Every structure is written in C-alpha cells, then in structure tokens.
Amino acid sequence: MKRFLKLAATLALVAVVLWIVGDPRAIAKLFAQMDARYVLVAAAVATIDRVLMTFKWGLLLRAKGMTLPLWRGTRIYCASMIWGMFLPSPVGADAIRALLTHRA
C-alpha cells in the first residue's frame, strides 16, 4: 500500500508539473510522436550510468572499510541526485549521499 501511495503521489506531481509547464495536449502529442525504442534505450543508458557510478562509489567506500550492497547504494545515489537538484550544487547531493549511507 505504501508503494502504491508513493507511485500515486509521484504521478500526481508529474501531472501538476506538466500542467504548469505547458499545454497538456501539446505534451501528450509530443509523447505520442516519440519512438518507444529510443526512450527505452535512453532509460537503459541512464540506468547503467547510475549503476556504474554507484559501483565506483562502492569501491571508495570499501577502501574506507565500509560495505554497501549495490542495490541499496543505487537507491541512495538516485535519491541524492533528486535532492541535489534543490540543494546547493557543490555539496548538496554528496551531503545527502553521506547522510543516507550513514543511516544504512
């Protein structure tokens, strides 16, 4: 149920942003014109990039004697990227990543 509520809230926020940014019909038309294959390739490349960045970050943690599973680290890395959009750029995402890693 918690996961459903998170998904519903996310979809509602995306809908609000799309409504504020532009005409929903024009945005829907753009989405309809996109080739799904290219969208999937772009999503796959972005996901692979985040997993590789998390892996490198995990190597740095291991050098300091800490272990963090790749899946948990990827979730932390992606969450810190989102927070980094709203926090000052030099330290925002890194500070969140350090905090969430400490909690884990």
**What's the pLDDT band for 91 if we cut at 50, 70, 90?**
confident
**Residue 52: its pLDDT value, please?**
94
**Which tens digits make up the pLDDT trace of 34-89?**
999 999 999 999 999 999 999 998 898 889 888 888 898 898 888 888 887 777 77
Give, in degrees to the nearest 5, the angle at Cα 60 between 62 and 100: 85
Cβ pair 51, 74 in contact under 8 A: yes
Task: Determine how many CB atoms are found less than 10 A away from the CB of residue 29.
Answer: 10
pTM of the model: 0.65
